[in-house]
Amino acid sequence: MNRKYASLPTILGGPPWSIYPARLITAKGFFNDPISAGPYVLTAWGGTNTATFAVNKSYWGPKPAVPEIEFQTNPDPNSALAEVESGQLDIAFGLPPNLISQVRSPAQSEVTTMYGEEVMTMRGAAAPFNQQALRVAISDALNRQQMSQVIYGGKVKPIKGYWPSSMNGYDPTISTAQDLAAAKQEIASTSCAKGCQVTLDYCSAAYPEQGPEALVVQSNLAQIGVKVKLDNLDPSTYFNIFATYKYQMVLYPLYDFQNVPDGYLGFSLIYDGGQQAAYTGLSIKPIEAKAHAIEVSSGATRAKDLLQLNKLFVQYSPFTTLTDEALIWATRVPTSEIHVSSSAFLDVATS
């Protein structure tokens, strides 16, 4: 709080700032039967795979139109979708993209663009990705439209700038078209001019979209002489490599819960923000200077800075954005009653 903090009102409304009774929050077992200030209260759980919520009669705001919501954990997305189609469930969310085209009436498929992106990062602190021209060449060589079409049926936007289409700062004028001519010109000045081999790690078990993403990356980069070895990791190994920075390239989702730049910048562009600048190991001073300026700006100044950051991101390509991050879900109830927001939360209409 020792500087301007324009995003504070929005951030205070986010999930990390949920309000609970101070005298109870440290009590053992409090979160098995919590009391909150939200529109619903937990009425049944007990550590099972089912949790039931009812309208909070003491809620200060408008009452939700849906009187009771029951959440069920189902690890099999195909089974969850079948239960929506048969009427056993009303909504199934967190479905893999390959199920978009398989949803049958009376259910309908929905694709919610989140506050985030599908990303491919490179360990820029080490060769060969410490070469800016190589990172730019890789970005130019990617066919993002192909990724959107193959993985999401064209229902998400390809992204080449820094900000996703759901957030302030998104610039639709940045071309996302594959540019092999530019990529070949850029790579000619690098150590990969005559070809090179790199490894791309991903985890289709945790993120089903990464399997087809990896195949598109491999095919695209082969067109500029970069041979990509694919390594589909188990979840434990996949998440461990982030902690140890033991990778060359890796696919992962980058997202936040709110449409403010602060957290997003801290996750991915500020070296001392906690994740070594999106795991690249790079500290790019012009980008970090602009990021810090955004943190303390507001209004028209912030809007201008957000757009300028896009241009710096494309110029230096510290990592590569691919498409919007999306949450796939199926429903048999009107989306006017319940829908999934860009924060990946259920929004319930009020009565």
Task: Give me the CATH number covering residue 171.
Answer: 3.10.105.10
Do 227 and 319 lie in a common domain? yes
Predicted confidence (pLDDT) per residue in 191-230, tens digit: 999 999 999 999 999 999 999 999 999 999 999 999 999 9
Assigned domain for 12 exists: no
Do 199 and 147 lie in a common domain? yes
Tell me what pLDDT residue 276 has.
66
pLDDT tier at 263, thresholds 50, 70, 90: confident
Assigned domain for 296 exists: yes
pLDDT reading at 268 higher than 80: yes
Percent of the chain surpassing pLDDT 70: 98
Task: Give me the CATH number covering residue 57.
Answer: 3.40.190.10
Whole domain around residue 153: which residue ranges?
Answer: 114-326
Do 90 and 132 lie in a common domain? no
Assigned domain for 27 exists: no
Assigned domain for 2 exists: no
Do 284 and 341 lie in a common domain? no
Assigned domain for 210 exists: yes
* The total number of structural domains that make up the chain: 2
Q: DSSP letter string over 58-98?
A: T-SSPPBS-SEEEEE--S-HHHHHHHHHHTS-SEEEEE-GG
The mean of the pLDDT values for the chain is: 93
Do 176 and 157 lie in a common domain? yes
Tell me what pLDDT residue 275 has.
67
Which residue has 């005559």 as its token pair?
A: 194
C-beta of residue 306 within 8 angstroms of C-beta of residue 7: no
Predicted confidence (pLDDT) per residue in 330-349, tens digit: 999 999 999 999 998 889 99
Do 148 and 132 lie in a common domain? yes
Do 177 and 66 lie in a common domain? no
Assigned domain for 74 exists: yes
Tell me what pLDDT residue 132 has.
98
Do 93 and 190 lie in a common domain? no
Closest CA to 83 of 67, 66, 103, 110: 103
Sheet of 249-255: strand order equals 91-95, 319-331, 108-122, 249-255, 196-202, 226-232
Closest CA to 6 of 311, 297, 305: 297
Assigned domain for 4 exists: no
SS3 216: helix
Which residue has 């070895």 as its token pair?
A: 229
Q: Which residues contact 234 (CB under 8 A, 6 or more apart)?
A: 203, 205
Do 229 and 164 lie in a common domain? yes
Do 261 and 291 lie in a common domain? yes
Tell me what pLDDT residue 234 has.
98
pLDDT tier at 277, thresholds 50, 70, 90: low
SS3 12: helix
Do 134 and 86 lie in a common domain? no
Assigned domain for 28 exists: no
Do 133 and 214 lie in a common domain? yes
